Amino acid sequence: MAKHILFLDDSDERHAVMEKSFPDEVYPAATLAQFADALERCGKIDEVWLDHDLGAHDGGVSETCFSGFAAALLLTALPRHRREDIRRVRIHSWNPTGARRMMDVLEAHNFPVIYNPFSHSSDGEADNLERAYRRDEFDHLYHTKKACRDPG
């Protein structure tokens, strides 16, 4: 079954890796406006992947306006039924301070969040990324089943 991943990042290289790793599963967005548009168009979204530092070349504009933090705020403003459609948010930014801010606001609104900085290696990056994603799927299922068996 195909996953639906809303991917926010301003790097063409990262978009290429995602498209190679998850063909027909990625809704790409490079700007906050594209993210908001995709969020509105998409039905169920299994995962939202967020980078923090978007458009760093757009100097002179507030960091929040063009950052993944603004995208995180958009997610928290969704109606409850739409928030429940999002299975997980993955923050892949290499900016630990920005990532922490995003995690804090999303966790405060009960989004399941993981922090996993995007790999920069070019050799086998797509394969490694796909394996990591599938391993996360296994880990999520294992911990969910364990929690159902052992609620304490």
Tell me the average pLDDT of the chain: 77
pLDDT at 149: 36
* Cα separations in angstroms, 4 against 27, 59, 130: 7, 32, 14
The residue segments making up the domain with residue 53 are 5-149
pLDDT at 13: 87
Q: How far apart are CA 81 and CA 78, in angstroms?
A: 8
pLDDT at 11: 85
- Confidence class of residue 148 from pLDDT cuts 50, 70 and 90? very low
Query: For residues 49 and 122, which has the higher predicted lDDT (pLDDT)?
Result: 49
**HEC sequence for 34-88:** HHHHHHHHCCCCCEEEECCECCCCCCCCCCCCCEHHHHHHHHHCCCHHHHCCCCE
What pLDDT digit, counting tens, does each position of 121-133 carry? 444 444 455 555 5
pLDDT at 133: 54
Residue 69 has pLDDT above 80, yes or no: yes
What integer is the mean pLDDT of 7-16? Answer: 88
Q: What is the number of domains present in the chain? A: 1
- Confidence class of residue 61 from pLDDT cuts 50, 70 and 90? very low
Residue 3 has pLDDT above 70, yes or no: yes
In 10 A of CB 21, how many CB atoms?
A: 19
Domain containing 118 — which CATH number? 3.40.50.2300
